[in-house]
């Protein structure tokens, strides 16, 4: 073998290796770009494609229940547990709202209002959410604190007297 051909072969082998790695990367990137929204994982730049449309529906069992607009709050933490933790030790100079905001991190609370039909749709990031609502049902006041696991494109949560957290008689 000629001694001048050996460096040429080495250079050709290095170039072919680089071309093979580049082709593999290009093929993987092409497959990744064609994945449906929400399944991209770490490289996704927008949160919305993986978001869940949470449909909240309140069923009014009695005919005399008032068809009023009902405010609903969604929290990414259990606010009752957060209040208990906040009250368990002194935190000079820290308000509960600041404490809860720090616990929620990047997922701020979401507010909505049920319309006259008792429905609302809110878009939330995937994960566990706590739905808080209060409404009048005739002579009773119903309060909800429901834990909901938001996943997929759409999820429905029904607020009924059976799944209410408290049912208090109104005087």
Indicate the SS3 state at residue 85: helix
Contact 107, 58 (CB under 8 A): no
- For the full predicted model, state whether its pTM sits above 0.75: no
Per-residue pLDDT of the chain (171 residues; tens, 9 = 90+): 555 568 888 899 999 999 999 999 998 888 877 766 554 444 443 345 578 889 999 876 555 455 577 889 999 998 888 999 999 988 888 999 889 888 888 888 899 998 888 889 999 988 899 998 888 776 778 888 989 998 888 899 998 888 888 777 765
Question: What is the secondary structure of 89-118 as a DSSP string?
Answer: S--TT--HHHHHHHHHTT---EEEEE-TTS
Tokens 């040429």 sit on residue:
8
pLDDT at 34 (0 to 100): 74
Determine phi and psi for 75, rounding to 5 degrees: -125, 150
Report the phi/psi class of residue 41: left, alpha or beta, with left for phi > 0 and alpha for psi in -120 to 50: left
Six token digits for residue 100:
């809860």
pLDDT for res 46: 39
For position 21, what pLDDT does the model report?
92
Fold annotation for 48-169:
Immunoglobulin-like (2.60.40)
């Amino acid at each position: 073998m000629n001694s001048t051909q050996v460096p040429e072969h080495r250079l050709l082998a290095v170039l072919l290796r680089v071309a093979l790695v580049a082709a593999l990367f290009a093929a993987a990137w092409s497959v990744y770009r064609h994945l449906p929204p929400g399944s991209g994982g770490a490289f996704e730049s927008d949160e919305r494609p993986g978001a869940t449309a949470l449909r909240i529906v309140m069923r009014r069992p009695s005919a005399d229940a008032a068809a009023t607009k009902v405010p609903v709050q969604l929290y990414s933490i259990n606010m009752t547990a957060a209040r208990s933790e906040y009250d368990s030790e002194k935190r000079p100079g820290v308000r509960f709202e600041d404490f809860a905001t720090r616990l929620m991190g990047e997922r701020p609370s979401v507010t909505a209002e049920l319309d006259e039909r008792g429905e609302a749709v809110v878009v939330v990031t995937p994960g566990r959410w706590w739905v808080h609502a209060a409404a009048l049902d005739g002579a009773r006041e119903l309060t909800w604190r429901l834990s909901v696991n938001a996943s997929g494109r759409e999820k429905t949560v029904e607020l009924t007297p059976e799944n209410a957290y408290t049912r208090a008689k109104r005087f």
